[in-house]
Amino acid sequence: MPPSLPTSPDEPLSFRTILATWWPLAASWILMGVEMPLIAAVLGRLPDSEIQLAAYGGVVFPVSLIIESPVIMLLAASTRLSDSPENYRYLRRFARTLGYGLTVVHGLVAFTPLFDLIVVPIIDPPAAVVEPARAGLQWMLPFTAAVAERRFHQGLLIRFGRQRQVGTGTIVRLVATAIPLAIAAGTASPYGASYAALAVACGVVAEAIFARAGAWFVERGPLRQARSDRTLDLRTTIAFYTPLALTSTISLASYPIASAGMNRMPQALASLALWPAASGLSFFTRSSGVAFNEVAVRHAGDRDGRPALARFAWLVGGVFSLIVALIAFTELARWWYVDLEGTPPERLPLAVQATIAMIPLPLLSFLSSHWQGLLVDDHRTRPISEGVAVGLVTIVATLGIFIVRPMIGGVVAAMIALSVGMAAQTVWLWWRERMGKGEHGP
């Protein structure tokens, strides 16, 4: 029996069991978190680094994220609903239709005048950033379909206790990502944003292929014996998944919104250039909390599962926030930004301020994932969308304050807005989960 599962239905959920389920997923997310700092480190040492970093970190990556955002929650949906061969096959068709449909949207934005009509006015990047960003977005075309395939099949692996394969797949992704970056570094290419986009596209395609291969063995093994008391159809799938898709879409909208806000604040170009390193550190330290969502979905129904999950979230999330504080207030900040990421030393004070602003994010990420996972287990997905909407409104309002009263650098204001927004979202999810306790049990 996989080590992530309780040995008996009557056995209380233990810290060790949660840890066994969480750490392979967390390792996968943390390895993914290496991707953005790796890209920033390479681009920071290439010609025209400030423009190329601003193009990729301020335009290409945020726009790609918002287009593919509806497929993000396929991982949670597959973990919860791939409970029989029939439901698995139906959900796979749904996932592929969604993934390839959004890839068409990406192509229209990247290869037609929609880029100039939509992306440029909304984000309002410096003029020198526009063309590198356009080329980078074109190289990112396979991104959405590959993410949909990867996350759907990873959900099946998690459901049947094979989450370690998820972590192995991330290693495959990093290797595939590193190859184009190594070529860019070796040739001192002036097209850093395009190479970064190509690297990410290669990485997610390689990981999607690996996840599909792992799912093949589950399909011909334990999935064949699985039975469910429900049969998925279009109506039930849309009712379950739409709030989850809105959740990821609204959540990831914060990245282009942050980029647009930074363009309207002091030190705009410097902030956009610093954003990949700062947001990469943020993602790296809070991504293990994002991974906790699937753990909560998997174990919320276990005996004493909910209080055990809450204790784990507070403890481990607090440890990761302490790590961010350690980086912010010690010489580790110089090591991360200047030595590793290639940030000019004169920008270090701005980077340190942004790092201080992100200290609460890892803990908030764990707590948000915890209550979100409980709501998914209860089949109450609407409050999740509500919570993310509350968080996004808070982010926009906070950015608006800093635009009207430009007191600090854009990257610092953006990180403060993300922290305040995440706090608002977390409080909302906690409140909505508490409201439903009487109906859904402890």
Contact 442, 306 (CB under 8 A): yes
Using CA atoms, how far residue 153 sits from 72, 124, 149, 288, 311, in Å, is 12, 37, 6, 20, 29
In the prediction, which pLDDT does 164 show?
A: 81
**133: Cα within 13 Å, side-chain hemisphere:** 29
Name the residue among 4, 25, 19, 365 with its Cα closest to residue 170: 25
pLDDT at site 251 = 64
- Whether residue 24 lies inside any domain: the answer is yes
Nearest CA among 152, 121, 126 for reference residue 52: 126
Domain that holds residue 419: 15-440
Nearest of 17, 29, 321, 357 to residue 174 by alpha carbon: 29
Judge whether 2 lies within some domain. no
Whole-number pLDDT of residue 2: 42
Tens of each residue's pLDDT in the chain, 442 residues: 344 444 445 678 888 888 888 887 787 777 767 787 888 889 888 888 889 988 998 899 889 988 998 898 898 889 888 888 899 999 999 999 999 999 999 999 999 999 999 999 988 888 999 999 999 999 999 999 999 999 999 989 988 888 788 878 888 998 999 999 999 999 999 899 999 999 999 999 999 999 999 999 999 989 988 887 778 888 888 888 887 777 767 666 777 788 788 888 888 888 888 888 888 888 888 888 888 887 888 888 888 888 999 999 999 999 999 999 999 999 999 998 988 888 889 989 999 999 999 999 999 999 999 998 888 888 787 888 888 889 989 999 999 999 998 888 889 999 999 999 999 999 999 999 888 764 443 3
Length of the chain: 442
> For residue 4, which of 216, 297, 290 has the smallest C-alpha distance?
297
Q: Are 361 and 285 in contact (CB under 8 A)?
A: yes
pLDDT at 311: 94
Q: Which of 106, 102, 415 is nearest to 254 (CA)?
A: 415
Domain-located, residue 6: no
Residue 427 lies in a domain: yes
The residue with tokens 């990502």 is 177
What is the structure's pLDDT at 437? 60
Cα–chain center distance at 157: 19
- What is the tally of structural domains in the chain? 1
Tell me, yes or no, whether 211 lies in a domain: yes
Q: Are 101 and 71 in contact (CB under 8 A)?
A: no
Cα 48 from Cα 37, distance rounded (Å): 18
161: left (phi over 0), alpha (psi -120 to 50) or beta: left
In a domain, 1, yes or no: no
The beta strand positions in 335-420, using DSSP E, are: none
What's the pLDDT at 154?
92
Which amino acid, residue 175?
A: V
- Asked whether residue 5 is assigned to any structural domain, the reply reads no
Burial of 108 (0-12, 13-18, 19+ CB in 10 A): middle
Listed in sequence order, the residues at least 6 apart from 268 whose beta carbon sits closer than 8 Å to its beta carbon are 126, 262, 410
79 CA to centre of own chain:
17
Q: Evaluate whether residue 160 is within a structural domain.
A: yes
